[in-house]
Amino acid sequence: MSNDAVSHLISKQRQVTYERLVDELAYRYGDAFTHAEIAEVVEQSRSAMAATSKIEKFLPLLTARFARETLEAKAVAEGRVAKQKPELLFVCVHNAGRSQIAAALARHLSNDRVNVRSAGSDPTDEVNPVVAEVLAERNVPLIEAYPKPLTDSVVRAADVIVTMGCGDECPYYPGKRYLDWAVPDPAGADTDRVREIVADVEARITSLLHDIIDKGVVKS
């Protein structure tokens, strides 16, 4: 088989993979979105993930995850589904360290009483492995975590938006609670330093969840 034929076959297989993904998401989210809208989100997700994913074979999986998260946020942001619980968004630059730590701890400590998302203003290709190691020590695994870009939908869906070192990259919407945490970047830090950062974030998350869950303080 010629190189052109092989390339054509691979391209066809990829097309089938993404068409199948659209169909699967349409089955799940068809009450909120049209098939065409879902196809558009899948293509946008594929393009976004292709910009950071270094391993081609992982691109369909990352696309599927990002498309699903985007549709869920978009549905909430646009009022296509009823909001079931408070929505938290954690944002840093690369979505590889601080925002991943915060999101993982918020999910773990809230016992699923809040919905949590994270994003990066300039996402990298993988979660910081030392961060993953330290969180695993606390039985907070990052099995499915991956860096993803900040989108308008996740901002509009959120009730509380916590930024950590991303400056003015996060768009502002009235009626939301914005917090800016001065948390050191764990990039390049050794394990002991990352443990300190995780402990710092955990204390902040505990206080935030106390406000949201126990006091009901969501909006500023």
Q: How confident is the model at residue 173 (pLDDT cuts 50, 70, 90)?
A: confident
Q: Could you tell me if 91 and 163 are in contact, meaning their C-beta atoms sit under 8 angstroms apart?
A: yes
Among 39, 4, 3, smallest CA distance to 22 is for 39
pLDDT of residue 14: 77
pLDDT at 11 (0 to 100) = 56
The lowest-confidence range among 3-12, 115-124, 186-195 is 3-12
Q: What is the pLDDT of residue 10?
A: 42
- Tell me: pLDDT of 130 over 50: yes
Confidence grade of residue 165 (pLDDT, cut at 50, 70, 90): confident
Reply yes or no on whether the pLDDT at 93 is more than 90: yes
Mean pLDDT of the chain: 90
The closest alpha carbon to 118, from 184, 82, 191, 65, belongs to: 65
Pick from 65, 76, 114, 122: nearest CA to 97: 122
pLDDT of 115 higher than 80: yes
Question: Is residue 5's pLDDT more than 80?
Answer: no
Mean pLDDT confidence for 147-176: 88
| Assigned token pair, 32 | 């909120």
Per-residue model confidence as pLDDT tens digits over 47-88: 999 998 888 888 999 999 999 999 999 999 999 999 999 999
Q: What is the pTM of this model?
A: 0.91
Q: Is the pLDDT of residue 220 over 60?
A: no
Minimal CA–CA distance to 21: which of 59, 64, 52? 64
Domains and CATH numbers, the chain: 3-77 (1.10.8.1060), 87-215 (3.40.50.2300)
